[in-house]
Amino acid sequence: MRRRRQSGALPLEAPLVVVGDRKSALCVVALDDDAAALGLVEDMALADARARFPRLEVAHEDSPADTKLLETVAEYCRRWTPLVASDAPDGIFLDITGCAHLCGGEAELGADLRARLTRQGFHVRVAIASTAGAAWALSRFGMEAILPAGSERRTLAKLPLAALCIEDETVAALARVGLKKIGDLYELPRAPLAARFGKILLDRLDCALGLLEEPLSPRLEVAPYMAERPFAEPVGREEDVLGAVACLAEKLSAMLERRGEGARRLELSLFRADGAVFTVTAATSRATHNPEAIADLFSTRIDVLRDDLDPGFGYDLVRLSVLEADRIDAAQSDLAGPDNAEELARLIDHLGARLGPSRIVWQEVFESHLPERAVLHVPVGGAGAAAWKIADPEAPPERPLRLLLKPEPVEEVVAVVPDGPPARFRWRHVLHEIVRAEGPERIADEWWRAEESRPTRDYYRVEDKEGRRFWLFREGLFGREHVLPRWFMHGTFA
């Protein structure tokens, strides 16, 4: 794949080449059509190229930018198949098994791919074969073709050995013994070839001929559920995109419901007519196949990302995928009132879509005697709600619902007996007279945390004359621990 020169961008007398360091010398690594027409080729030294054409325009290679461009094109190629793999520095593999009929056949798919990338300014060579090795060889050393299954041996026989994607040193070593074509290896004994030139030579040959499996590692995970909608004319209005999302959500809902599953993580892909691709992801707090909930989720996400989603000349393909799904067990509906769990999930999803899922946290119960360690803040999820036990609404709370971030010291504490509840204390410069107290609730530090062991705590629930209730503790026991007991405020009751 090579970027075409935009017509009229530069005059014909200024062909463009890209050079890079190769063995301590500047060599041509890429060139445009004008430079190729002058007889310049890749791997030619820049000095030789300038000797042929002094007015040559030269640009230095930028490998990170080239890699980013290749990934961008590979992302765009997902419109034809989800199984796309990058073959740096200038190739892309597409596994179109089971996808070609959606475009009218392999020939139509290849023609559509070539036409779209050519309009974007790329020089493209497309080869379709039953093996990745044969497609790679034909696209670089043969003619653009659709190779029927079973004809690899005959077609590849005429290609040079470099078409097997082996090291240049191995190609040169084979040439020294008179082996220049792939067909020259067919009748030779395999053991001597492997011993002299390495087993990789035979592996590459077997992969190209289909005798050895060559797995394709796609760039992204393949979604278990997917629905898409192409447009004859690109659309750019947000209302049209949301309408397409609603229709696709209906299709996905039917697929999920048939298998008793619900979506947990979804992705919306917007393929722009000029080759750009925008992806919008969303997650749900619990599995759902409700199409209205899914559509509303992406409506919120698109509203948040409106400034980043530039429709340009419009989108010609919209795809909605379920990246992760969970089992949904059938549940009896409650006719007496609304489904609070469902409403809570919708609220969490809406907040996560607008603010970001990492900013929505759930207080997860953790086994620890110390109150500040008994609760962890974790990203919200469907499993978090099951960890909490519903308390008796008529019973008074034993602990505050919210604690201070860090226990604060309490001053001027007066108690009837040294180890009894406080009768008066000053906190945040305010003096509180206690009229009622409950406790103590004694909590000792975990024995397995000996390196950071803390004194024993005696917690009290107290109420002052104004009716304000506090939860405070005395740290340290009189006459039992080698510390001077101190008082701390840990929380307040509403």
- 114-123 pLDDT tens trace: 999 999 988 8
- Distances from the Cα of 130 to the Cαs of 79, 147, 158, 210, 273, in angstroms? 20, 7, 18, 8, 30
Q: Of the given ranges (12-21, 129-138, 208-217, 237-246), which has the lowest mean pLDDT? A: 12-21
pLDDT tens across 466-488, in order?
999 999 999 988 877 767 889 99
- Asked if residue 331 has pLDDT above 80, the reply is no
User: What pLDDT digit, counting tens, does each position of 375-393 carry?
Assistant: 777 777 544 444 445 556 6
Q: Could you give the CA distance from residue 41 to residue 18 in angstroms, rounded to a whole number? A: 11
User: Is the separation of the CB atoms in 360 and 379 below 8 Å?
Assistant: yes
What is the band of 332 on the pLDDT scale with cuts at 50, 70, 90?
low
Nearest by Cα to 32 from 12, 55, 54:
12
Q: Is the pLDDT reported for residue 451 higher than 70?
A: no
Residue 360: is it exposed, middle or buried by C-beta count within 10 angstroms (0-12/13-18/19+)? buried
Q: How many CB atoms lie within 10 A of CB 19?
A: 21
pLDDT value, residue 292: 93
Q: 3-state DSSP call for residue 265?
A: strand
The Cβ of residue 249 has, within 10 Å, a number of other Cβ atoms equal to 25
Kindly list the structural domains of the chain, giving each domain's residue range(s) and its CATH number in brackets, ordered by start: 2-61 (3.40.1170.60), 151-222 (1.10.150.20), 225-351 (3.30.1490.100), 360-391 (no CATH), 403-492 (no CATH)
How confident is the model at residue 378, as a pLDDT? 76
Q: How confident is the model at residue 352 (pLDDT cuts 50, 70, 90)?
A: confident
User: What is the rounded average pLDDT of the residues 420-442?
Assistant: 94
Mean pLDDT for the chain? 86
Distance CA 470, CA 459 (A): 10
How far apart CA 301 and CA 297 sit, in angstroms, is 6
338 — phi, psi (to 5°)?
-70, 160
CA gap 208, 204 in Å, rounded: 6
